[in-house]
Amino acid sequence: MCGILAVFGCIDNSQAKRSRVIELSRRLRHRGPDWSGLHCHVNCYLAHQRLAIVDPTSGDQPLYNEDKTVIVTVNGEIYNHKKLRENLKGHQFRTGSDCEVIAHLYEDYGEEFVDMLDGMFSFVLLDTRDNSFIAARDGVGITPLYMGWGLDGSIWFASEMKALSDDCERFISFPPGHIYSSIKGDLRRWYNPPWFPEHIPSTPYDSIVLREAFEKAVLKRLMTDVPFGVLLSGGLDSSLVAAVASRHMVESEAACQWGSQLHSFCIGLKDSPDLKAAREVANYLGTRHHEFHFTVQEGIDALEEVIYHIETYDVTTVRASTPMFLMSRKIKSLGVKMVLSGEGSDEIFGGYLYFHKAPNKEEFHQETCQKIKALHLYDCLRANKSTSAWGVEARVPFLDKDFINVAMSIDPKWKMIRPDLGRIEKWILRNAFDDEHKPYLPKHILYRQKEQFSDGVGYSWIDGLKDHANKQVTDAMLMHASFIYPENTPTTKEGYYYRSIFEKFFPKNAARSTVPGGPSVACSTAKAVEWDASWSKNPDPSGRAALGVHVSAYGEAVDTKPTVNGPSQKLLERILEMTDTAV
């Protein structure tokens, strides 16, 4: 990941203003510690903090077209850049950077080129020929971007709001899948996939098609010129990423230069569920595994720094970001700059435990659509900012544009959780990789039940956070929370504590408005309560709030060894028993 900052239409274009832009850009240096760049044109500034992943020697930014009339600063990776280069006839490329194609695509296609990009990206482009500019963000919002307005009429863009919060009177989270055009003066959606209108798809489930689409998504993300690895929690999603990546290492020239053995990383409290499961998966796959431990106190000590970096006070995000933040620091110390991660699968396939209560396939599908559209506020934000805090880039193959289209075109009746048919959550994904002849994973890993990341690192992690917050926030403070925080009022002491830390770093109304609000409900969604009103009785957003569904949280001794078609009959009977309205 890199850090970008762009300012357009400043009244002041003095040396002092240039120095101020450099100072603000420096706030993003954690995202790109390898090099800094700045381009000034009249009253416009484009700054860049680079994390060199592809073409470390010549890919410094900002990037230009041939005569330097088009300037672009980019945060992200364009996985199809080689194919795009082949179609850009008559253009001279100065670097091997995957992002340089953006400047030349703009020359040939104007503002309509964005949909041609396959990757994760946020970029700002200046055309000095008419002093126009555009800004765009990838379809799901894997990379962060904020947009702000100054009192002098200037327009700002930055990878993180800490770079513009002091100088902008108003700022927002730039919506994913949108482009801003200074000529047209508005935001418009460029990302319009077939599933976006939330119509109910009808394509039959084909396990081979789904498997091949995911393998392609992983393979293209092995594009790198630096050491890399995979985040491995031992759950289904990260284990599949690791399994596919380890198989395809030999097919990626860039990846092979770092050896044929995949490095894997996991973090947790001592004897946590994730550490045990990840160790088993790593042994099975033959990865070079790195296991990191942290204590509850070490996590608590890091909270202020974590909230400063992730720029949110959302409870579940803070809980999960802290171990990821600590792990990223360890990963960077090993010289690794890029990791593959498993975000996005639960949103696409309905993997959260409250999906057990979905009443029909229509509501199931519509909820997956809404979850994907909100990823930029939760898991994408966590994965990107927690790793970028230490100059590590996280790539997410489940959010590959082509893979999402394949997965979201499947008739949702196949995604429905059907214990009576042996189908637990994400059954179609598990089944797609259930290969008897050349197994990707052991069956009990392939059919392991969903574990919230903040739970998987150790159940006492969340309990420790709650205990700490209870000591910091009094009953009176929480009782009067609506007067102190009238917008997005925290409803728990833990939420109040995170909010107070956030406000210290980001005190403006605009900042708190970038965080999704509303009362905390089971599984962090009102849909869970709509499907089963009893879940509203537990205000904790952890996966353990999925009352009667998540077995591990209650210490149940359940045999999870699966049969050929899925989990054991004993587990299915237990889930069916607990899920009284199973469909």
Q: What is the pLDDT of residues 222-233, one digit of tens each?
A: 999 999 999 999
Instruction: Please state the residue numbers annotated as binding site for L-glutamine.
Output: 98
In this prediction, residues 466-494 reach a mean pLDDT of 97
In this prediction, residues 209-232 reach a mean pLDDT of 96
What's the pLDDT score for residue 562? 38
In this prediction, residues 69-90 reach a mean pLDDT of 96
How far apart are alpha carbons 194 and 327 in whole angstroms? 37
Residue 453's pLDDT band (boundaries 50, 70, 90)?
A: low
Task: List the Cα angle 476/477/482 in 5-degree steps.
Answer: 110
Residue 285's pLDDT band (boundaries 50, 70, 90)?
A: very high
How far apart are alpha carbons 2 and 439 in whole angstroms? 37
What's the pLDDT score for residue 252? 66
Given a cut of 90, whether residue 511 has pLDDT beyond it is yes
Query: Is 315 or 554 the better-scoring residue by pLDDT?
Result: 315
Q: At how many degrees (to 10) do helices 401-408 and 207-220 cross?
A: 160
Q: Which of 347-361, 531-545, 559-573 has the lowest mean pLDDT?
A: 559-573
How far apart are alpha carbons 307 and 305 in whole angstroms? 6
Residue 89 burial (10 A CB sphere; 0-12, 13-18, 19+)? exposed
What's the pLDDT score for residue 438? 93
In this prediction, residues 238-267 reach a mean pLDDT of 85
Q: What is the pLDDT of residues 514-542, one digit of tens each?
A: 999 754 433 456 787 789 877 666 667 66
Given a cut of 50, whether residue 582 has pLDDT beyond it is no
Residue 570's pLDDT band (boundaries 50, 70, 90)?
A: very low
Given a cut of 60, whether residue 576 has pLDDT beyond it is no
Query: Is 578 or 299 the better-scoring residue by pLDDT?
Result: 299
Q: What is the 3-state secondary structure (H, E, C) of 535-572?
A: HHHCCCCCHHHCCCCCCHHHCCCCCCCCECCECCHHHH
Q: Which of 70-84, 113-127, 230-244, 548-562 has the lowest mean pLDDT?
A: 548-562
Pairing of strands 263-268, 228-231: parallel
In this prediction, residues 361-385 reach a mean pLDDT of 96
CB atoms within 10 A of CB 530: 16
How far apart are alpha carbons 447 and 575 in whole angstroms? 14
Q: Strand pairing partners for 563?
A: 566
What's the pLDDT score for residue 273? 87
Instruction: Please state the residue numbers annotated as binding site.
Output: 98, 231, 267, 341-342
Catalogue the active-site residues: 2
Residue 57's pLDDT band (boundaries 50, 70, 90)?
A: confident
Residue 373's pLDDT band (boundaries 50, 70, 90)?
A: very high
What's the pLDDT score for residue 481? 97
How far apart are alpha carbons 343 and 321 in whole angstroms? 13
The pTM score is: 0.91
CB atoms within 10 A of CB 476: 8
Q: Strand pairing partners for 423?
A: 418
Name the maximum alpha-carbon separation found in the chain.
73
Residue 328's pLDDT band (boundaries 50, 70, 90)?
A: very high
Q: What is the pLDDT of residues 30-47, one digit of tens each?
A: 999 999 999 999 999 999
Instruction: Please state the residue numbers annotated as binding site for ATP.
Output: 231, 267, 341-342
Residue 189's pLDDT band (boundaries 50, 70, 90)?
A: very high
What's the pLDDT score for residue 581? 31
pLDDT, mean over the chain: 89
Residue 345's pLDDT band (boundaries 50, 70, 90)?
A: very high
What's the pLDDT score for residue 512? 95
Domains of the chain: 3-189 (3.60.20.10), 207-578 (3.40.50.620)
